[in-house]
Amino acid sequence: MAQPDMSLDYEFEELDNQRMRQLGASEIEEERKDVICFPRLNSLHIEGLPNLIFFISGNHNIEFPLLEELWIESCPSFIEFISQSSNESGMHALFSEKVAFPRLEKMTINKLRNVKMMFHNDFAPGSFQHLRKISVGRCGSLKNLFPVSIAQHLPQLEHLGITNCGVEEIVSKAEGVEEQPVRFEFPQVSSLVVTSLKELKCFYEGQHTIVWPMLKKLKTDCSALLKIVASEHLRLIQGNEQPVLLVEEVVIPRLEDLELSSVNIHEIWHHSSSPSVGCLHSLQVKRCHNLKYLFPSFLVKDLVQLQRLEILDCNMMEQI
């Protein structure tokens, strides 16, 4: 096996020490008494540690000034990075303001069944400004993904994936803050995968607007799309007898790949002014049993880029 290079790419994988409760720090630079720093670490992979509860315990701050990729998977007992950092409600978060990842680009969190919150509300705006990809899966206790302070400052985010989690809302409201309209803009997100979120109620509980100007790939099931991509107007339409998926107020001008599965709708597009299909290359519709037709006649002329079309197991479909 080749010797590790100067990047210090640490991997903690498939360690089965029954007494292991927190990771040691054999190559840690301790610059100040209460600050622990991994000055050259750029990749951290933690997987298959069934007894791991914390990364470190005690009253410490921990810094990863060069970390670009973080992967944590199959650590069922893991609660938080640093112990004793619960918020005012007593709920522990995986990451608190005591953990610094100023250059983090990729984050994968999978099979952490005890994690209820990803981030504390106390992170300063811009703490994750370099994050390009985040994937979260099989975290059954997770209630939300971001606080507002982080969700509003993700200028480099390109891929967002959430699957098979107990998430009730993507973005949580800040406690004790006066209600005001919030604008979420994801200028670089090109891929959005939201599946198997049976508890999902909304993107954000308060009044808000969501903008996805670069979105190209969208994969979703159930009715999550009505709560993730939509404007406030669209969520009102959801309560009608015949819910509509994409209305003219919701524009995804660069959408290329759309995959819908088990979505409870009667129409996908509505009205005669929908510019959301001009770049569409691939459309897959599966198990949408209330859907009676796929395209309204006015929209067919705009499907000049469509290359792949799949329609599977839609019981009420009468015509394409």
Residuewise pLDDT in 10s, the chain (320 residues): 445 444 444 455 544 444 444 554 444 444 456 888 999 999 999 999 999 999 888 778 899 999 999 999 999 999 988 886 444 555 788 998 888 899 999 999 999 999 999 998 877 777 899 999 999 999 999 999 999 889 999 999 999 999 999 999 899 887 666 577 888 889 999 999 999 988 888 888 877 778 888 889 988 886 665 556 654 443 333 334 444 444 333 456 788 998 888 877 777 776 554 556 778 899 898 888 888 888 888 788 888 899 999 998 888 888 88
The answer to whether position 73 is within a domain reads no
**Distance from C-alpha of 254 to C-alpha of 251, rounded to nearest angstrom:** 9
pLDDT value at residue 225: 58
List of residues 6+ apart from 71 with CB closer than 8 A: 44, 45, 46, 47, 106, 107, 108
pLDDT value at residue 270: 62
The answer to whether position 254 is within a domain reads yes
**Distance from C-alpha of 43 to C-alpha of 64, rounded to nearest angstrom:** 10
Provide the H-helix boundaries in the chain: 148-151, 225-228, 232-237
The answer to whether position 216 is within a domain reads no
The answer to whether position 260 is within a domain reads yes
> Measured in Å, how far apart are the chain's first and last C-alpha atoms?
56
The answer to whether position 298 is within a domain reads yes
**Residue among 120, 96, 114, 105 at smallest CA distance from 50:** 114
pLDDT value at residue 59: 79
Q: How many domains would you assign to the chain?
A: 1
**Distance from C-alpha of 317 to C-alpha of 66, rounded to nearest angstrom:** 53
**Distance from C-alpha of 266 to C-alpha of 290, rounded to nearest angstrom:** 5
Cβ–Cβ under 8 Å, residues 118 and 142? yes
Structural tokens at position 204:
């954000």
Report the amino acid identity of residue 188: Q
**Distance from C-alpha of 56 to C-alpha of 99, rounded to nearest angstrom:** 11
The parent domain of residue 299 ranges over 224-320
Pairing of strands 106-110, 133-137: parallel
Which residues in 187-233 belong to E strands, given as ranges? 191-195, 202-204, 208-211, 217-221
The answer to whether position 84 is within a domain reads no
List of residues 6+ apart from 139 with CB closer than 8 A: 109, 110, 111, 112, 113, 115, 165, 166
Cβ–Cβ under 8 Å, residues 65 and 39? yes
Q: How far is CA 316 from CA 10, 199, 288, 293, in A?
A: 53, 26, 8, 8
Cβ–Cβ under 8 Å, residues 93 and 61? no
pLDDT value at residue 222: 64
**3-state SS class at 149:** helix
**Residue among 36, 78, 31 at smallest CA distance from 55:** 78
**Residue among 36, 102, 39, 37 at smallest CA distance from 68:** 102
Structural tokens at position 146:
């971001």
pLDDT value at residue 90: 58
The answer to whether position 238 is within a domain reads yes
Would you state the torsion angle of the CA atoms of residues 231, 215, 281, 202, taken in this order, to the nearest 10 degrees? -40
Tell me the whole-structure pTM to 2 decimals.
Answer: 0.78
The answer to whether position 191 is within a domain reads no
**Distance from C-alpha of 1 to C-alpha of 24, rounded to nearest angstrom:** 23
